[in-house]
Structure 1
């Protein structure tokens, strides 16, 4: 996948440089620091940290409850004391295997283009360094998220959501959760 010059240009023009304040990893308003993760990202974190699946993630908190069914879509990194469990002294302790959402913050790319989330690192420099790498990571993230969505849609079209127990639907299937 080749990144477009307009995307690289938009990223450069934003003037972003991470200040390492850790604010993006802390909850400033309800749900502001939810980090959605897919199965591959979870596996990398498990391998790197030695922690278990249950230690690392919890179901996305917005649940759908209808007709005896109780479900949600996807997983989020666990938080403790209103911050990401992997934030220590404003540093990410899983930096090398951090999820796509963290790798590309404060930028997000979707079908309507580039979005920039509020962050104190924006406009702190003339141009974003490594804009080409950020563009590539944004495109990889978008591709990954679209692939996850496609897999979930395929699962939903071929399986029924069980009633009577809470489940999480992710790109690997429908999983019972005992939180």
Structure 2
């Protein structure tokens, strides 16, 4: 479920559209996902809260990322975390007995599926896409795009993503201007402020804003 990754399997959609879609609870979209599901900082925060509340020994996002994810870099050397997979079919690490074991706290890209989101154009906050790579999901049923998003792309998600889109433009520019040696010297601190520095008992967005400000200063301002 990479967002807007394979252009052959996505198409733009408008909020007022209706599309064919029927979730069959088959777990298919949770299989063959090696290096596909990116964890955003808020995803790690929500998973940590959920797993802690389920009785797992989770003190913070660092425990979730250490046990269930691995770091990598996007094509532009921007560091991210991807969910781990297990088994010969590369199942999501949270797929248990054919069902998502963290459904209430599943990552945003999973909740939005079969839709994905990207920064908007012409004054719009977002643009939306329909992901059609799993063709058997699109044989019957009707989904209204606006209704699906109102249920699965909640206000907090939108607010966090708008803040992140704006910040990432600056961070990406700053990282590109660095030498590899400079980048490696700040990598741990970059990951700390982006993914680790959260109190699970405090609201996410204020902490995220503060961490992004630290990251801007760390990478050269802007």
Shared fold (TM-score greater than 0.5)? yes
Q: How many residues are paired up?
A: 157
Structure 1 runs not aligned, ≥5 long: 1-5, 65-70, 175-179
Normalised by the length of structure 2, the TM-score is 0.56
Superposed CA deviations along residues 132-167 of structure 1, whole A, max 9, x for unmatched, are: 442233475565434223233444567864336865
- Provide the residue aligned with 2:24 in structure 1: 19
Q: Indicate which of 11, 14, 28 corresponds to 1:7.
A: 14
Segment drifting more, 14-23 vs 71-80: 71-80
Higher relative contact order (CA 8 A, sep 6+): 1
Residue pairs, 1:4-153, within 5 angstroms: 7-10=14-17, 12=18, 14-27=19-32, 31=35, 34-50=36-52, 51=58, 52-53=63-64, 54-60=66-72, 62=74, 71-81=77-87, 82-110=90-118, 111=120, 113-117=127-131, 118-119=133-134, 120-125=136-141, 127-128=142-143, 131-136=145-150, 137-138=152-153, 141=157, 144-153=160-169
Maintained 8 Å contact 1:108/1:138: no
The structure with the largest strand share of the pair is 1
RMSD over aligned CA atoms reads 3.4
How far apart in 2 are the matches of 1:26 and 1:60?
Answer: 20
- 1-structure distance, mates of 2:41, 2:154: 19
Q: Higher helix share goes to which structure?
A: 2
5+ residue gaps in structure 2?
1-12, 53-57, 122-126, 195-207, 217-222
